[in-house]
Amino acid sequence: MEPRGLFGSRREAASSAATCSRRRSLNVVFFFFFPLLIVAAAAGNTTAAAAAAAARVAVDVGVILDLATALGKKSMLSMEMALEDVYAAHPEFATRVALRARDSRGDVVAAASAAIDLIRNENVAIVIGPQSTLQAEFVTYLANKTKVPVITFSATGDAVTRYHVPYFIRACSKDSYQVASIAAFVKAYEWRNVVLVYEDNNYGVGILPSITDALQGVGVNVINRSAFPAYSPNNHIDVELYKLMTMQTRVFIVHMLPARASRLFARAKALGMMTKGYVWIVTDSIGIVLDVLPQHSIESMEGIVGFRPYIADSTRITDFSSRFTTLFRTKYHPNTDIRMAKPTIFQLWAYDVAWAVATATEKVHRTRSLNPTFHPLGNIGKNLVDDLPALPAGPELLNSILQGEFDGLAGQFRLIDRHLQVPTYEIVNVIGEKTRVIRFWSPDSGLTMSMNSTTIHGDAKFSTSSSELKNIIWPGDSTTVPKGWDFPVNAKILRIGVPLRHDFKTFVNVEINPNTNRSTVSGYSIDMFEAAVKKLPYALRYEYIPYDCAGSYDQLVSQVFFKKFDAAVGDVTIIANRTRYVDFTMPYTESGVSMLVLSKSDDEPTTWIFLQPLAKDLWIATMIFIFFTGLVVWVIERPINRDFQGSKWKQCITAFYFAFSTLTFSHGQKIQSIQSKIVVSYTASLSSMLTAERLQPSVTDLKQLLANGDSVGHQNGSFVQSILKKLKFDDHKIKVYSTQEEYAKALRMGSKHGGVSAIFDEIPYLNSFCSKYGREFQMVGPIDRTSGFGFVLPKGSPLVPDLSEAILSLTEEPERLKIEKTWFMDSSLDYYGSHSKGSSRISFQSFQGLFIIVGCLLGAVLLINFSKFLYDKCKEMRGFGSDRVHRGERVVCFGEAQPQPPQIVMVDRQSCAC
């Protein structure tokens, strides 16, 4: 046996040694050839990458920006970052977009030239830009001609899409989208008048129709439009601003590009227009860049309110902003303020546009072949535009961009009608060097406190009040909400026209001192105006200017319309024709036109008035009915009722009384005498008639006047004349009067004697007349409705709502009653022209006939009853005398001599006669 050692037998050791030798040989071969294998693999990968790169299609995309501006530089950097990110996320894309940038230098002609150069020489498939709305107009025409899609992320003006431009795409919010949010904000603070301040070019003018309609839709008036030339010097800006200072309105809506807006606010601050009481609202073109403006610019804008599309914060946006700020400072301005290096919404839109273009070109490349050169190089004629050929792949590229939808940095990228979907707007307030979000607005919810808020008052967009908004720091570091208007810096005393009346001076009475030529104005209308002015939360300086209206208040109203007067105070009626030229406060008197007629009393001094409870025919019918009823009652009651029994005369009287008493409801009374019951019944009926008020108008119906051909009258210069003509009164039947005395005289004369049967006038005038002449005349109506008397003010005057509110408060206070008692003499005449109390005195003559008949009746009844009493008494005495005769006594009857001293005599029964 072979001995075994530590490692086994010798054979095993030899075998093991051979195996180890082979392993060492293989290791040497592996380590020698492995680097060669790595180099070979790397060479293979490089060859594959080179082959893939060679297979990619380069797509030239034109970019037109103002590269000298911050917006241009930032937007170009944002698009470069987007292309880098999209191809890093999708390395498999077979296309690569190459940006061919051109600097428009802020010039419209340069932008148009750049577009032609890109399409003709660079053969671009798509054009991004241009940067401004003014530059985009020609480029859109060029896009339609060549079928090269043009997509912009910053040209927000409405003027670009005024016409049909199918190859123009706006991947940003349109200016007109924000007007509803601005109108809702103005409505929430109840400002009624605004001034639009805008650039004097197509960009500035483009928003005017939409914002004017939106404001008017919520009851806000655009009382002025102030246009600022784009490149006007500071002194020209100062002139325009001073014009705004001379106006009453203090709410300004500014629509400008940021650079020009910065100059405007700098000059406004220098002129003292960024102080307490002013309201400055800026559109999104300014609101978007408020966070990146230079410090000196933002300092002059403190207190303004801006609008901009809302972009929700996200980690993706935070990472992008950090990268962007670093790259921008490194590439352009290493020492710039970090505030100015931050991206804005425009950069987010630019990023999404570059991403959309990259994905759209890739999608089109899959369906058709895209070559680097899209247009054959032909001979270009003199007409640069007409000779440009159309891009074959243009329609497919356009549809690919329009149908693209993805989650972009600025939110969901989705185009509707070639526009980015309407965004939610946030409202910001500039405080110091920062902006603070105070509110949000969306088409569905209107104004809300936060993005999670629901509609506060139903689903109305304009229902939220300012009390639900966060506190705003207004210009001048004020927390008090401005009232929206104030007296101009050159405020003069308001010239208030008052009518110079010759009658009805209860309302306006102008007395001119011949020595001093000064006028004193008084009257009900004047007292009401001055009482309303005292309730205003501010002082109002004014002076009265008498004006002779020549019989028509339309002339006084026209003086306010032509700004000869700042207002008119007096008995001016609010009618539709006048409201087209001026504004009125709410009425301070009753409305309507009534008819004044002569009173006719039913208590005419007639002897036989007591017969008037019933008419003649009714008297006859009543008597027949009484006898018939009595007969029926007698037939029914005689067998069973003791009251209907007895002598025939008694039965007849009882039946007659019962039938009569059914008319007067007196049969239940405990009166035994038939005569008493009849007297009481008729007296009660007559008393009811005579104690009622018996005054009645002589005319109660217009048809009566027209049918009789009566004459009617009206006040000189009154619009009532037109009403009478509409009622079809003949011209020769219409008479004109100027004084209250003429009213009374004409009505007393009547139409048959040269006067009138009725006078038509407004209720306040007739109230004044009745307070003077009392119950001799009466009002009938109203015949026609009007709005009453109001104070006249220019269209859009901020005094209208304030004075109207003051007048309304006066109606709830005793001060108004005090004013009415001062100017209306009849204390029983209430506000509506009716008498609240009073009595009509009835004369003795009205009862003369009644007293005669009743007196005779009472005398007859008394004589009958007295005779009956004597009869019964004598009858009783005769029975008593028989007994006395038997006892020897003498009975003395009336008319006999006094009895003698008693004597005893004997007489028979026939010796006494009564």
Q: pLDDT per residue over 319-354, tens digit each?
A: 999 999 999 988 887 777 788 889 999 999 999 999
Structure tokens at 855: 């007196």
Whether 143 has a pLDDT exceeding 60, the answer reads yes
- Please answer whether residues 565 and 496 qualify as being in contact, where contact means their C-beta atoms are separated by less than 8 angstroms: yes
Structure tokens at 826: 């009849």
- Domain ends where: 778, 807, 824? 824
In this structure, are 270 and 362 located in the same domain? no
What digits encode the pLDDT tens for the residues 779-803?
A: 887 777 777 889 999 988 878 888 9
Structure tokens at 465: 């009040």
Q: Which of 58-67, 653-662, 902-911 is predicted least confidently?
A: 902-911
- Please answer whether residues 610 and 850 qualify as being in contact, where contact means their C-beta atoms are separated by less than 8 angstroms: yes
Report if residue 328 sits inside a domain: no
CA distance 528 to 507: 10
Whether 646 has a pLDDT exceeding 50, the answer reads yes
Whether 676 has a pLDDT exceeding 50, the answer reads no
Question: Residue 251: which H helix or E strand, with range?
Answer: strand 251-255
What digits encode the pLDDT tens for the residues 544-593?
A: 999 987 667 889 999 999 999 999 999 898 888 899 999 999 998 877 78
- Please answer whether residues 744 and 773 qualify as being in contact, where contact means their C-beta atoms are separated by less than 8 angstroms: yes
Q: Is omega for the bond preceding 782 within 30 degrees of 0, making it cis?
A: yes
- Please answer whether residues 845 and 604 qualify as being in contact, where contact means their C-beta atoms are separated by less than 8 angstroms: no
Beta partners for residue 64, in sequence order: 102
Alpha helices in 300-410 (DSSP H): 315-331, 345-367, 394-403
Whether 469 has a pLDDT exceeding 80, the answer reads no
Query: What is the pLDDT, as a whole number, of residue 663?
Result: 54
Give the residue-averaged pLDDT of 494-518: 83
Give the residue-averaged pLDDT of 220-243: 88
Is 60 in a helix, a strand, or coil? strand
Confidence of residue 245 (pLDDT cuts 50, 70, 90): confident
Query: What is the pLDDT, as a whole number, of residue 126?
Result: 93
Beta partners for residue 441, in sequence order: 425, 447
Whether 848 has a pLDDT exceeding 60, the answer reads no
Report if residue 13 sits inside a domain: no
Query: What is the pLDDT, as a whole number, of residue 828?
Result: 44
Select, from the ranges 217-221, 547-551, 865-869, the one with the highest average predicted confidence (pLDDT). 217-221
- CATH number for the domain that contains residue 816: 3.40.190.10
- Please answer whether residues 780 and 760 qualify as being in contact, where contact means their C-beta atoms are separated by less than 8 angstroms: no
Structure tokens at 610: 């007591």
For tokens 């004697």, what's the residue? 753
| Residues counted in the chain | 914
In this structure, are 106 and 245 located in the same domain? no
Give the residue-averaged pLDDT of 191-199: 93
Query: What is the pLDDT, as a whole number, of residue 437?
Result: 93
DSSP string, 559-613: HHHTTSSSEE-SS-B--HHHHTTEEEPPPSS---EEEEEEEEES----TTGGGTT
Residue 164 half-sphere exposure, CB side, CA atoms within 13 Å? 1
CA distance 281 to 255: 9
Whether 637 has a pLDDT exceeding 70, the answer reads no
In this structure, are 635 and 573 located in the same domain? no
CA distance 188 to 172: 27
Confidence of residue 893 (pLDDT cuts 50, 70, 90): very low
Query: What is the pLDDT, as a whole number, of residue 881?
Result: 55
Q: What is the mean pLDDT of the chain?
A: 78
- Please answer whether residues 248 and 538 qualify as being in contact, where contact means their C-beta atoms are separated by less than 8 angstroms: no
Q: Total structural domains in the chain? A: 4
Distant-in-sequence contacts of 157-160, Cβ < 8 A, 24+ apart: 157/132, 157/133, 157/202, 157/203, 157/206, 157/207, 158/206, 158/207, 158/210, 159/133, 159/202, 159/203, 159/205, 159/206, 160/133, 160/136
Beta partners for residue 522, in sequence order: 509
CA distance 556 to 548: 8
In this structure, are 805 and 714 located in the same domain? no
Query: What is the pLDDT, as a whole number, of residue 619?
Result: 63
Report if residue 888 sits inside a domain: no
Residue 876: Cβ-neighbour burial (10 angstroms; 0-12, 13-18, 19+): exposed
In this structure, are 604 and 712 located in the same domain? yes
In single-letter form, the type of residue at position 522 comes to S
Percentage of the chain modeled with pLDDT above 90: 32
SS (H, E, C) 100-123: EEEECCCCHHHHHHHHHHHHHCCC
CA–centroid distance for 651 within its chain: 80
Q: Is omega for the bond preceding 130 within 30 degrees of 0, making it cis?
A: yes
In this structure, are 544 and 565 located in the same domain? yes
Report if residue 800 sits inside a domain: yes
Query: What is the pLDDT, as a whole number, of residue 833?
Result: 40
- Domain ends where: 801, 824, 847? 824
Query: What is the pLDDT, as a whole number, of residue 263?
Result: 93
Structural domain containing residue 554: 494-589+792-824
Residues in Cβ contact with 817 at an 8 Å cutoff, skipping those fewer than 6 apart: none
- Please answer whether residues 735 and 711 qualify as being in contact, where contact means their C-beta atoms are separated by less than 8 angstroms: yes
CA distance 175 to 153: 13
Q: Tell me which residue of 243, 213, 215, 217 sits closest to 228, measured CA to CA.
A: 243
869 vs 420, which has greater pLDDT?
420
DSSP string, 815-860: HHHHHHHHH-S-TTB-TTS-BSS---PPPGGGGHHHHHHHHHHHHH
Whether 301 has a pLDDT exceeding 80, the answer reads yes
In this structure, are 655 and 780 located in the same domain? yes
- CATH number for the domain that contains residue 443: 3.40.50.2300
CA distance 710 to 607: 31
Report if residue 572 sits inside a domain: yes
- Whether this prediction's pTM lies above 0.85 is answered by no
CA–centroid distance for 316 within its chain: 45
Q: How far is CA 86 from CA 169, 354, 536, 685, in A?
A: 21, 9, 64, 106
Whether 226 has a pLDDT exceeding 90, the answer reads yes
Report if residue 415 sits inside a domain: yes
What digits encode the pLDDT tens for the residues 103-127?
A: 999 889 999 999 999 988 888 999 9
In this structure, are 712 and 817 located in the same domain? no
Q: Which of 506-520, 544-558, 607-621, 673-687 is predicted least confidently?
A: 673-687
Q: Which of 228-232, 268-272, 372-376, 764-768 is predicted least confidently?
A: 372-376
Whether 7 has a pLDDT exceeding 50, the answer reads no
Q: Tell me which residue of 206, 210, 208, 204 sits closest to 224, measured CA to CA.
A: 208
Report if residue 646 sits inside a domain: yes
In this structure, are 779 and 807 located in the same domain? no
Percentage of the chain modeled with pLDDT above 70: 70
- Please answer whether residues 905 and 885 qualify as being in contact, where contact means their C-beta atoms are separated by less than 8 angstroms: no
Query: What is the pLDDT, as a whole number, of residue 444?
Result: 86
Q: Which of 283-297, 302-316, 339-353, 363-377 is predicted least confidently?
A: 363-377
Confidence of residue 897 (pLDDT cuts 50, 70, 90): very low
Query: What is the pLDDT, as a whole number, of residue 699?
Result: 74
Residues in Cβ contact with 290 at an 8 Å cutoff, skipping those fewer than 6 apart: 298, 301, 306, 308, 428, 430, 435
- Output phi, psi for 179, to 5 deg: -65, -30
In this structure, are 532 and 413 located in the same domain? no
Confidence of residue 436 (pLDDT cuts 50, 70, 90): very high
Report if residue 41 sits inside a domain: no
Query: What is the pLDDT, as a whole number, of residue 611?
Result: 59
CA distance 870 to 765: 71
629 vs 521, which has greater pLDDT?
521
CA distance 97 to 80: 10
Residues in Cβ contact with 197 at an 8 Å cutoff, skipping those fewer than 6 apart: 226, 228, 244, 252, 253, 254, 255, 256, 264
CA distance 153 to 419: 10
Alpha-carbon radius of gyration of the chain: 53
In this structure, are 150 and 73 located in the same domain? yes
In this structure, are 602 and 726 located in the same domain? yes
Whether 829 has a pLDDT exceeding 50, the answer reads no
Q: How far is CA 369 from CA 424, 470, 584, in A?
A: 40, 57, 72
Structure tokens at 580: 């087209």
Give the residue-averaged pLDDT of 89-104: 94
Query: What is the pLDDT, as a whole number, of residue 377?
Result: 45
CA distance 266 to 621: 99
Select, from the ranges 282-291, 482-491, 618-627, the one with the highest average predicted confidence (pLDDT). 282-291
Residues in Cβ contact with 565 at an 8 Å cutoff, skipping those fewer than 6 apart: 495, 496, 497, 545, 547, 556, 559
